[in-house]
């Protein structure tokens, strides 16, 4: 993919010239160089976060690595200085993204916001919001490199034992379901292998299998869904892994026991879980 050029006069010389004023660790996003005469005054790069983009006439969250880059013009304090307009800022980024095969999702009529998407060199979906400031004094870019949250802690039988010995329970995030369904997905087998190993190595242990959901949807639907998922896990352990049915007890509590906020997509992902609870 060709490197995106945001502004016709942008050169490496400009980048070097204004980098000295950038906030510590601040840098341009690889495919979206800055407008001339701007420096970075705020910057963050978060491994996994969420941001909402205006898609199909409503704000929708996207998840993945999140970049927040805020630029300020060198003459931002001068009201009579010559600076790019809001429209000029949006158009430069929009044209560059379009040339790279991306698309404009939405632009507000007053040019306060622009939303765009394209694919980077790794073919990841990139979501971009451009927010120009007053009279071009500054502007902000919010970027999500879309990807699912990775499971950083690998579930194994020893971890299950240690957590249950200490806390009396463990949340299993390696059991996967489609949205609104209780059929167990094939990629869940690694977690089941470890759960069954733990149960076979500790035959004196009986467990509640407890399903949890986030708060989206009605309480009744979530309560039933969480119970159905717990029952599905119980049946899988009994039928495929030959765990005695007398040792397992299924229950669903819907959204009643969150471990994170339900106001963010990351929090909701943590709340959607199956727990093993020592009986």
In the chain, domain spans = 12-146, 157-278
Q: What is the mean pLDDT of residues 191-202?
A: 96
Say how far apart CA 129 and CA 137 lie, in whole Å: 17
pLDDT band at residue 153, thresholds of 50, 70 and 90? low
pTM: 0.54
Q: Which of 74, 192, 190, 95 is nearest to 137 (CA)?
A: 74
From residue 240, give the alpha-carbon distance in Å to each of 172, 190, 203, 273. Answer: 18, 13, 17, 21
pLDDT band at residue 6, thresholds of 50, 70 and 90? very low
C-alpha dihedral sign at 126, 131, 135, 138: negative
Say how far apart CA 137 and CA 263 lie, in whole Å: 32
Say how far apart CA 41 and CA 13 lie, in whole Å: 19
Q: What is the mean pLDDT of residues 183-200?
A: 94
C-alpha dihedral sign at 83, 88, 92, 94: positive
Q: What is the mean pLDDT of residues 29-53?
A: 90
Say how far apart CA 100 and CA 31 lie, in whole Å: 10
pLDDT band at residue 39, thresholds of 50, 70 and 90? very high
Say how far apart CA 89 and CA 107 lie, in whole Å: 12
From residue 13, give the alpha-carbon distance in Å to each of 9, 32, 36, 69, 74. Answer: 10, 16, 10, 20, 16
Share of the chain above pLDDT 90, in %: 65
Per-residue pLDDT at 270? 86
From residue 20, give the alpha-carbon distance in Å to each of 16, 24, 38. Answer: 7, 9, 11
Strand 207-212 relative to strand 273-278: parallel, antiparallel, unpaired? antiparallel
Q: Which CATH class is domain 157-278?
A: alpha beta
Supply 42's token pair: 């705020």
Per-residue pLDDT at 152? 53
Say how far apart CA 182 and CA 175 lie, in whole Å: 11
Q: What is the mean pLDDT of residues 69-92?
A: 94
Say how far apart CA 235 and CA 245 lie, in whole Å: 8
């Amino acid at each position: 993919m060709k490197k995106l050029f945001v502004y016709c006069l942008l050169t490496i010389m400009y980048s070097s010239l204004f980098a000295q004023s950038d906030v510590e660790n601040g840098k341009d996003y690889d495919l979206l160089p800055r407008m001339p005469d701007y420096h970075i005054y705020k910057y963050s790069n978060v491994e996994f976060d969420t941001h909402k983009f205006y898609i199909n006439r409503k704000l929708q969250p996207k998840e993945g690595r999140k970049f927040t880059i805020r630029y300020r013009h060198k003459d931002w304090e001068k009201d009579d200085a010559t600076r790019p307009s809001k429209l000029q800022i949006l158009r430069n980024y929009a044209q560059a993204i379009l040339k790279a095969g991306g698309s404009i999702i939405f632009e507000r009529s007053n040019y306060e916001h622009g939303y765009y998407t394209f694919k980077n060199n790794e073919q990841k979906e990139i979501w971009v919001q451009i927010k120009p400031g007053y009279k071009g004094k500054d502007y902000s870019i919010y970027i999500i490199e879309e990807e699912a949250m990775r499971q950083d802690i690998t579930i194994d039988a020893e971890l299950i034992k240690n957590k249950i010995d200490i806390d009396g329970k463990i949340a299993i995030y390696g059991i996967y379901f489609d949205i609104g369904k209780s059929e167990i997905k094939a990629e869940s087998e690694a977690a089941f292998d470890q759960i069954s190993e733990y149960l076979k190595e500790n035959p004196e242990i009986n467990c509640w299998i407890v399903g949890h959901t986030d708060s989206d949807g009605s309480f009744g639907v979530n309560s039933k869904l969480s119970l159905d998922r717990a029952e599905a896990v119980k049946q899988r352990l009994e039928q495929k892994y030959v765990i005695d049915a007398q040792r397992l007890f299924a229950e669903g509590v819907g959204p009643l026991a969150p471990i994170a906020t339900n106001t963010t997509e990351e929090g909701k992902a943590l709340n959607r879980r199956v727990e093993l609870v020592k009986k």
